[in-house]
A and B are shown apart, each in its own frame.
Chain A
Amino acid sequence: MDLNELRHGTELLKRGFAAMQKGGVIMDVTTPAQAVLAEGAGAVAVMALHAVPSEIRKQGGVARMADPQIVCEIIDSVTIPVMAKARIGHTMEARILEAIGADMLDESEVLTPADEFHIDKTEFTVPFVCGARNLGEALRRIAEGAAMIRTKGEAGTGDVREAVRHTKLITGSIRSLKGKNKEELARVAREIEAPFELVEETAKLQRLPVVNFAAGGVATPADAALMMQLGVDGVFVGSGIFTAENPEKMADAIVEAVNNYDKPDVLAEISKGLGDQMKGIDIRTLSDVETLQTRGW
């Protein structure tokens, strides 16, 4: 590289951007006013959507990327990074969102998949975050170029159970790689359908090679603290804030809970008097076609 020659869109820049989000809360927003509230509460980034996941669930039909007009208005309203969701495999939605300046794209199961294959994310300058339920899925997404992983959980339910399950599955699988030799790791790679090199790297690091957030059902300060305590790098909060009675208090409280996740006495203070929380849906009442986490592979 020559002095002052600029290189854009490198792996280091994509993963580096994700690393700047660590220890933070990323909030779903649908209007500039909500984005400003999230920024004021200390969110590290916002996810610009046309409707929060619980609304998308209710509306039904085909869920697509948000109107670029809404994303642009949100971009203009805050100084923190703005992320946006594209449908799984929808390369053109992703190109459009990249073109309007979204800082990171979420190739998301919350929207209706456009292909059985995921986007080739190495072709983009903008970094991607992708959902995963287990180690194989996480490593396949990283192999496709994802710079950040989040649990899929079960979006729009306000039920944290699936996010907990996916986090424990991933960390448990990583723990079980410890002490395995090359051929044993090769067998694991075959079983979980992931590239050997990434399995080997994960075994050595004893964590995912990229930043790993919790998502999909995180709705309260206690939920956020629970996920941090399970070892994730940060949390996405979808419907939990703007379907709560007092979004401002809830947003403030979740940000503070992430910073104090290991202090139950502080968490107790933070959790007091927040008003009605998101009503939510018990995941066990969902039929198979209503679950979002099974979208993608």
Chain B
Amino acid sequence: MKIGVIAIQGNVAEHVNALERTLAERNDRGEIIPVRQSGLVPDCDAIVLPGGESTTLARLMWKEGIAEEIQNAAALNVPILGTCAGLVLLAKHGDCQTTRTKQRLLDIMDIEVRRNAYGRQHESFETLIDIPVVGGAFPAVFIRAPAIVRCGDDVTPLARLGEYIVAAQQGNALALAFHPEMVEDTRLHHYFMDMI
């Protein structure tokens, strides 16, 4: 099993570490591959889009030709996990911020997102949110986090916080507004690996 972590920028090492811990807990063997250029994604059995700055990630993903490869993988039902900025990139519809910065999204999930929905770094927070598919309360870290403001019919919301949806799934694509790779709890990584 090969899991590709898009390693252009952001919380890459933390995702690699969380995936390795999850593999060890499952007694699974797998290879985690950092992806900074094209040519690697087609060989992967799952893809992770970490958090970082979505404008930076989008620009370099299209420039390096990784974006099209991820779209092709998604069309073949390869499981894809997007966290924070990764959630923004998975979306079909952005907001005024993504429009102004001419950010090209991947259009993999029928969701509309709002960048920095909870405000600036001063307003970043930790909390416990209820995620029924992993058995309830989950420690969630929101850093200048985006949120989902609207889901299409094929999308299942998995968690909410206040007025927004903060976790959702469409087929084998999983979008999270927070950072499961920054906590010890690996339940969401297990949930993701169950799709492979």
Contacts and interface: CB of A to CB of B under 8 A. Distances in A.
Given A10-B126, A13-B141, A22-B13, A104 B52 contact: no
Nearest to A262: B36
Interface residues of B, number: 46
Contact of A259 (B60, B139, B179): B60
Contacts of A7: 125-127
B82 to A, nearest CB: 14
A17 B143 contact: yes
Interface of B: 7-14, 36-37, 51-53, 55-56, 59-60, 63-64, 84-85, 97, 100-101, 115-116, 120-130, 137, 139, 141, 143-144, 161-162, 179, 182
B100 A103 contact: no
Interface of A: 1-10, 12-13, 16-17, 19-24, 39-40, 42-45, 75, 79-81, 98, 101, 103-104, 125-127, 255-256, 259-260
A98 B55 CA distance: 24
B36 A259 contact: yes
Q: Which interface residue of B8, B10, B122, B179 has the most chain A CB atoms within 10 A?
A: B122
Contacts, number: 132
Contacts of A12: 126, 141, 182
Contact of A40 (B10, B11, B101, B129): B101
A1 B127 contact: yes
Nearest to B8: A259
B56 A44 contact: yes
A24 B143 contact: no
A44 B9 contact: yes
16 contacts: A7-B126, A8-B125, A10-B126, A17-B124, A20-B11, A21-B10, A22-B10, A22-B12, A23-B10, A23-B12, A42-B56, A79-B100, A80-B55, A98-B122, A126-B121, A256-B60
A103 B144 contact: yes
B141 A16 contact: yes
Contacts of A23: 7-10, 12, 52
Given A79-B101, A103-B120, A259-B64, A22 B126 contact: no
A40 B37 CA distance: 20
Residue of B7, B124, B161, B182 with most partner-chain A CB within 10 A: B124
Given A20-B11, A255-B60, A3 B130 contact: yes
B112 to A, nearest CB: 16
Decide if the interface of chain A is mainly helix, strand, loop or mixed: loop
Majority SS at the chain B contact face: mixed
Contacts of B14: 19
A128 B162 CA distance: 29
Contacts of A104: 121
A259 B10 CA distance: 12
Given A20-B52, A255-B60, A125 B122 contact: yes
Contacts of A4: 127-129, 161-162
B144 A44 contact: no
Nearest to A83: B121
B115 A79 contact: yes
Contact of B122 (A3, A45, A126): A126
A80 B52 contact: no
A24 B10 CA distance: 8
Contacts of A6: 125-127
